[in-house]
Amino acid sequence: MVDWTFRPPRLAAVAVAFFVAACAAPAPERTTQLVPDETGLPAAAEIYAVGYGNIVERYIEPIPVAKIAFQGLRGFGAIDPAFTVHEDKGVLEVHHDDRVVARHQAPGADDLDAWARLTVAVAAEARSASPILGAASDEKLYEAVFDGVLSELDVFSRYAGAAQAKRNRARREGFGGIGIRFSNDDGVVKILSIMKDAPAEGSGLLKGDRVTHVDGLPMSNLRTEQLIERFRGPIESTVVITVVREAVERPLRFNLKRAHIVPETVTLNVDDGLAIIKISSFNQNTAVSVAEALENLHDAGAGVIDGVALDLRGNPGGLLNQAARVADLFLGEGGIVSTRGRHPDSVHHYTAGGRDLARGLSTVVLIDGKSASAAEIVAAALQDRGRAAVAGTTSYGKGTVQTVIRLPNEGEITLTWSRIFAPSGYTLHGLGVRPVICTSGARGEVATTSAALVTDTLANKASLAAAMAGWRRIPVKPEDVRNELRATCPAERRFATYEFAVARRLLADHRLYAQAVDAATTPTTASRVDGAH
């Protein structure tokens, strides 16, 4: 997923009269809030208004608020299937089993606040009529409504409640923590590794220590999510970690001060002249980490490194700006990626600054059927610009950008709002990136098979050129055309070493490497570096 995060303004309300008769029901965790806040809307209604309003304004396709809200009301049926909502000639009927619970005149198609208030009214009626819905928390109702809306849009638009949204933000932006990875094996919490430059490094904690208490609270019989919450806390806050260490008689206690921790997404390994930079996902530190990896390669000395294998296999994506920055580390001046949607803020053209921090090192990008979104942006940019050869299988084909909308309840909506276009102008959505050297279905002895894949593919220049040109022929292709193109190199999840063997073969022979790069940079590629028109 490619994310942009912002906090929307609180929406102003207009006075719309709706009267709700709520009878007693089994006590939920909280009751739907009907007390107006400073906007004039009930607090729950404001959450719906902010959500509905941003979907109407920002979704990649136009959609009226009436359609959004109606699908949201139907979402209550996910909690209690006996609850349904019907519309007939502008009148909404609320049913439970075969009984009509209430009737409402449908608001105007674009009356945002009225639909938000109606959602609150129907929620109260649902709780009164249905014991199941009556026992549901407010958060469960928000989830049902927004899931009902977003499931009708596309598979990448979704809602996360406050707890899940907090975890999502931690993955994207970091969190207050001590910088350890741990396992939880039947209540035994063991430190697996310690992050570089984190509070845990140099504190005395060691890999293999078994954590028994955090701030004096036992760690046994807790779910992994609960353990994570124990370790995390406000940045600069102090935490006491108690561990048991093999061959040490007494428990050991360590006082640490939490720091801003951003999960590691980049690893560097050098194996017999091949520098393998693995990117697992794209968060706010990914580009900096790749830059550090490239600097470390140059510090190793000239002649030691034959080239770089940029391993994006299994990478599900992440932040768009980080993908652009990673591509920029390898490129001279020119286009990287373009995005286009309905909202003016969704239209962007990313260009390289011309520095090429990799200093011209020959590069092979490895992708597979699980390489998605931000990973595809990097692969497409380096391929289209003639900066790298791409090997593996056709990528996932997630060519849309999602904006993240933070709601007043601290939940968030991830909403599709633009399409991604490669430098040559084709859209990644539903198509993906096609490698020059295709490893789909590769079997047999690795060295022999990989050598044959390279030589046979590059020898058949006409077939390869036709496949690559077909990818770029029109910006947005019909589904049947996309499927036909993807079938030329089927998407697969790859774990084996064939892709590394292909990278070694290409990087060891400058002639083969140049042929692989040139095969993907046809004349159609060079003319559209600023995206689709």
Q: Which helix (H) or strand (E) holds 88?
A: strand 83-88
Give me the helix-helix angle, 510-520 and 498-508, nearest 10°.
110
What's the rounded Cα separation, in Å, for the pair 124 and 165?
25
Say if CB 107 and CB 115 are below 8 A apart: yes
Say if CB 318 and CB 374 are below 8 A apart: yes
The residue from 130, 373, 424, 450 that is catalytic is: 373
What's the rounded Cα separation, in Å, for the pair 482 and 222?
47
CA proximity to 11, closest of 117, 143, 92: 117
Q: Is 1 helix (H, G, I), strand (E, B) or coil?
A: coil
190 is catalytic: no
The DSSP symbol for 431 reads T
384 is catalytic: yes
**Alpha helices (H) along 59-218:** 65-74, 112-129, 131-134, 138-150, 162-173
The residue from 138, 384, 395, 450 that is catalytic is: 384
Q: What does each C-alpha distance from 489 to 272, 313, 468, 483, 520 come to in angstroms? A: 29, 15, 11, 10, 14
Query: At a CB cut-off of 8 Å and minimum separation 6, what does 145 contact?
Result: 48, 51, 72, 73, 75, 76, 119, 123
The residue from 278, 328, 338, 398 that is catalytic is: 398
Distance from the first to the final alpha carbon of the chain: 24
Q: Which two tokens stand for residue 265?
A: 């997404």
Count of C-beta atoms within a 10 Å radius of residue 103: 11
What's the rounded Cα separation, in Å, for the pair 321 and 396?
20
Catalytic residue annotation: 373, 384, 398
